[in-house]
Amino acid sequence: MNVWEILIIGIGLAADAFAVSLCKGLSSKQTYLKTGIICGAWFGIFQGLMPLLGWLLGSTVASYIDAYKSYISFILLAFLGGKMIVESVKDLREGKGCESCLGEANTCNVENGKDSSLAPAIMVAMAVATSIDALAVGFDFAVREVNILLAISIIGTVTFICCFIGSAVGAKIGEKFKTPAEIAGGVILIGMGLKFLIEGLI
């Protein structure tokens, strides 16, 4: 497997992480630069480590992971998307929606100066949900002549770039429409989870 083939695989694997990063950009109260770096780092690291883990494990548990990956992703994304919608609706009812912070996108809905949407526990859950496919790719790498260090470096770097761009675009869009954007982001996450579930059932 050559560099270009690995690059194409990396872009394909980064697609779901890009979409989730766009959602995070929409709901983030931080600057687009900080959001982009955090999303890029979390998703990039997990997207790089999962193929390595799959490569190390080989094909021994491939069928087990492949059978349940869609359900795992659905549960994580549906939960996180639902949580995003509930929190945004709650903020709207309490008068903390977009109307109260136009022009102050980085200050609304922040408690103790922290942005809960970028909390490690949430980011880990999302990173795992979007990198399960990368684990399966690692199993494939185990039976091919692949330079695993080069492969995970390319995949991780491509994912970082895609996620940085996605979250930056989302942050810019969400600056003036904070609460509606959070709701839309939650709906997108749930939709992605349903997509995984449907693929698993078909």
pLDDT digits 0-9 by tens, 94-148? 655 433 333 333 333 433 344 546 778 888 888 888 888 788 788 777 767 778 8
User: What's the CA gap between 171 and 193, in Å, rounded?
Assistant: 22
Calculate the dihedral angle through the C-alpha atoms of 3, 6, 12, 13, rounding to the nearest 10 degrees: -130
> What pLDDT sits at residue 101?
34
Residue that has been written with the tokens 């526990």 in this structure = 121
Q: What is the mean pLDDT of residues 21-48?
A: 83
pLDDT value at residue 43? 93
Distance from C-alpha of 188 to C-alpha of 43, rounded to nearest angstrom = 18
pLDDT score at 105: 34
CA–CA dist 61, 58 (Å, integer): 8
E strand or H helix at 37, and its extent?
A: helix 32-57
Tens of pLDDT, residue by residue over 147-186, are 889 999 999 999 999 889 888 888 777 555 666 666 777 7
pLDDT of 189 strictly over 80? no
Cα–Cα distance for residue pair 30/110, rounded to 1 Å: 9
Query: Average of pLDDT values for 2-27?
Result: 81
**Phi and psi angles of residue 67, each rounded to the nearest 5 degrees, phi first:** -75, -30
Provide the whole-model pTM: 0.66
Question: What was the pLDDT predicted at 169?
Answer: 81
pLDDT at 191: 82
- The CA R_g of the chain, rounded to the nearest whole Å, is 18
Phi-psi category of residue 103: left, alpha or beta, with phi > 0 → left and psi -120 to 50 → alpha: left
Q: How far apart are CA 85 and CA 65, in angstroms?
A: 29
How far is residue 53's CA from residue 91's CA, in Å, rounded to a whole number? 40
Burial label for 193, CB within 10 Å (0-12, 13-18, 19+), is buried
Instruction: Give pLDDT, residue 55.
Output: 85
pLDDT of residue 188 exceeding 90:
no
Tell me: the pLDDT tens digits for 64-96? Answer: 666 677 776 788 778 877 877 887 777 667 655
Domain boundaries defined on the chain: 3-101+116-201
pLDDT band for 2, please (50, 70, 90 cuts): confident
Higher pLDDT, 181 or 27: 27
Judge whether 168 and 34 are in contact, CB under 8 Å. no
Q: 18: part of which helix (H) or strand (E)?
A: helix 3-27
C-alpha to C-alpha distances, 90 to 1, 77, 96, 103, 119, nearest whole angstrom: 50, 20, 8, 21, 19
Instruction: Report, as an integer, the average pLDDT of 22-50.
Output: 84
pLDDT for residue 110: 38
